[in-house]
């Protein structure tokens, strides 16, 4: 397993943030496409009613109602949004969701965010736990070996969470600004922590077991990245 696999698979906290960013991006794209879509042509019955009365609103009036007078209501002209404006707006939305609200305490922040993280990781964790059981059975991993793996992973998890909390406190990972360089620095440092897990797995499992698990398509890096207790992360500092 390469170092790159560990880095890309285990940075779930970054992936979670990026996924949310893409959600806002996708929502904005749908809105933009809807605004540019051609107007729906009027149905024949609607055209016929408008032709009879000379009133283009006639198909919306209940029977017996007086014809509408005056100009038809219209929505205000929408101001075109540049890419930079749209990016800034999405950053503000992201900060409002994952940043500390004005006067929000650590406990209040966690009460708001932790359920979201748990919900987002629930299904992936269940699927990967089941996959691990299957590949361990296929590779002949004993119950004692599996317990040793769990113990080794606990240390990896603790180191990864401590490292991430420091990155958040230092502003390397910040919900308030777009810091791609910081994300990359963080991912590189986390890769150094998690690469040690590969060595520990090799000390617990036999080369044949490691090879069998790798050939099955199961990735320990993906498993560790999803199962790390990201819900234990500290709240980011308040925005200044």
> What's the pTM?
0.65
Please indicate, yes or no, if residue 160 is contained in any of the structural domains: yes
Distance CA 235, CA 100 (A): 7
Residue with tokens 């099955």: 216
Tens of pLDDT along the chain (240 residues) come to 444 444 444 444 444 444 444 444 555 555 555 656 565 555 555 554 444 455 444 445 555 655 555 566 666 666 677 888 888 888 888 888 889 999 999 999 999 999 999 999 999 999 999 999 999 999 999 999 999 999 999 999 999 999 999 999 998 999 998 888 888 889 888 888 888 898 999 999 999 999 999 999 999 989 999 999 999 999 999 987
Please indicate, yes or no, if residue 66 is contained in any of the structural domains: no
Please indicate, yes or no, if residue 57 is contained in any of the structural domains: no
Q: Number of folded domains in the chain?
A: 1
109: containing domain: 3-31+82-232
Please indicate, yes or no, if residue 68 is contained in any of the structural domains: no
Please indicate, yes or no, if residue 52 is contained in any of the structural domains: no
Beta strands in 16-57 (DSSP E): none
Q: In degrees to the nearest 10, what's the CA dihedral of 155, 160, 165, 167?
A: 150
């Amino acid at each position: 397993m390469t170092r790159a696999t560990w880095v890309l698979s285990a940075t779930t906290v970054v992936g979670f943030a990026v996924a949310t960013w893409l959600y806002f991006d996708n929502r904005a794209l749908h809105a933009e496409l809807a605004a540019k879509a051609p107007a729906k042509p009027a149905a024949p019955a609607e055209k016929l009613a408008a032709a009879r009365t000379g009133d283009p609103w006639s198909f919306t009036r209940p029977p017996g109602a007086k014809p509408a007078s005056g100009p038809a209501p219209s929505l205000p002209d929408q101001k075109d949004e540049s890419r930079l404006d749209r990016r800034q707006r999405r950053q503000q939305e992201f900060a409002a969701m994952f940043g500390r609200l004005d006067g929000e305490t650590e406990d209040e922040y966690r009460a708001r965010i932790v359920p979201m993280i748990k919900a987002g990781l629930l299904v992936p964790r269940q699927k990967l736990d089941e996959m691990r059981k299957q590949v361990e059975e296929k590779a002949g991993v004993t119950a004692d070996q599996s317990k040793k793996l769990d113990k080794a992973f606990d240390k990896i998890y603790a180191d990864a969470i401590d490292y991430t909390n420091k990155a958040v406190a230092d502003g390397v990972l910040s919900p308030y600004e777009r810091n791609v360089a910081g994300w990359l620095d963080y991912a590189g440092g986390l890769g150094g922590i998690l690469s040690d897990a590969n060595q520990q797995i090799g000390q617990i499992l036999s080369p044949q077991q490691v090879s069998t698990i790798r050939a099955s398509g199961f990735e320990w890096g993906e498993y560790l990245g999803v199962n790390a207790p990201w819900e234990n992360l500290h709240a980011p500092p308040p925005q200044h």
